[in-house]
Amino acid sequence: MALDKILAISGKPGLYQLVTQTRGGFIAKSLLDNRKISVSIQQNVSILSEIAIYTLTEEVPLREVLSKIKTKEKGEQTSVSHKDGKDKLEEYFFEVLPDYDEDRVYASDIKKVVQWYNMLQKHDLLDLEDKRKSDEEE
């Protein structure tokens, strides 16, 4: 599963998998409870493959950040929870991405990345290396 089929929908918890398009939007399946929902094109939707994290020198695609977390955690769930305190989350993220821009990447952003990683790992959707290799071949 590529990250371009995984969505974050504003105002809705968790992540969603794109199922199909409709006339006025699309159908998405929740990774939390497997319920299908209809999403209108007016809703604010973020595709995970389009998200990047600010560093001091560039923007790093979320795919690379998740890959670094996967390497650090040896493919397991993260050693911190998205419910941990701001300092613990920032310390963890600094280990994963040492040059992230502390002024533009907030604790709430780090919480989302950790939560998303754990959700994708739980559903075995972290085939990020395969996606990167196919991108390099094109």
The per-residue DSSP string of 50-100 comes to G-EEEBSSSEEEHHHHHHHHHHHTTTS--SS-TTS-HHHHHHHHHHHSTTB
Higher pLDDT: 1 or 35? It is 35
Residue 102 has pLDDT above 90, yes or no: yes
- Among 52-56, 74-78, 125-129, name the one with the lowest average pLDDT: 125-129
pTM value?
0.86
Q: pLDDT of 105-127, one tens digit each?
A: 999 999 999 999 999 999 988 87
- Read off the pLDDT band of 1 (50, 70, 90): very low
The class of domain 3-48 in CATH terms is: mainly beta
Per-domain residue ranges of the chain: 3-48, 51-137
The class of domain 51-137 in CATH terms is: mainly alpha
| 3-class DSSP assignment, residue 14 | coil
Residue 130 has pLDDT above 60, yes or no: no
Q: pLDDT of 18-54, one tens digit each?
A: 999 999 999 999 999 999 999 998 999 999 999 999 9
- Read off the pLDDT band of 87 (50, 70, 90): very high
Handedness of CA 22, 8, 79, 133 (dihedral sign): positive
Is the distance from CB of 15 to CB of 22 less than 8 angstroms?
Answer: no
